[in-house]
Amino acid sequence: MTATTPAMRQADDKPPPAEPCGSAAIDVVVEAELWRAEPAAEAAVTRAIAAAADAVGGEAADVAVLLTDDDHIRILNRDFRKLDKPTNVLSFPAAPAMAAPAAPRFLGDIAIAFETTQREAEAEGKPLTHHVSHLAVHGFLHLAGFDHETDAEAEAMEALERRILARLGIPDPYASCDGEH
């Protein structure tokens, strides 16, 4: 497996081989048992990231996704963002590296927490697979260099998320909420 952040090194499972999807190879590691009870989630994540990669174009790239729980993501959030609380999704961009010219670039890792994701999906009245797809797209866009620090950046990123999710048949994730991430 490609060099990873601590999020992936701490995973208990060995990741499956990267699944090529469009312009991205996606490794999904299911760490938390709670995700195993949602078998459609892994496929939803893979499909969402492939759609996001296709939407932003650019060079072929590899991404690793950790499907974890609130306890582990709280530790990651505390250690890397100094926020001692769980969150729905975290992105860890890879450091720029020298790679062979024909080799895909490793963009980084995405970690998604089950309990927070499930709670948010239920509160917003949407299927878990729709919400995890949105979080995967959101996390991928961060790895691709998008952000939402300013209003203009947030509007642009949210518009791109809406377009990507619409291609997947997923309704506008911001239609019934206040746009907070």
In a domain, 176, yes or no: no
In a domain, 98, yes or no: yes
Residue 102 sits in a domain whose CATH number is 3.40.390.30
Q: For residue 135, what are the domain limits?
A: 6-10+18-167
Tokens at 148, concatenated: 């939402």
pLDDT of residue 100: 57
In a domain, 115, yes or no: yes
**Count of domains forming the chain:** 1
In a domain, 38, yes or no: yes
pLDDT of residue 61: 82
pLDDT tens digits in sequence order for the chain, 181 residues long: 333 343 344 333 333 333 434 456 899 999 999 999 998 999 999 999 999 999 998 777 899 999 999 999 999 999 999 999 999 999 999 987 655 566 678 899 999 999 999 999 999 999 999 999 999 999 999 999 999 999 999 999 999 999 999 999 999 999 855 444 4
Find out whether 4 and 97 touch, Cβ atoms under 8 Å: no
pLDDT of residue 68: 98
First to last CA, the chain: 30
**pTM (predicted TM-score):** 0.83
Of 31, 24, 25, the residue nearest 8 (C-alpha): 31
What is the number of alpha carbons within 13 Å of residue 42 lying toward its C-beta? 22
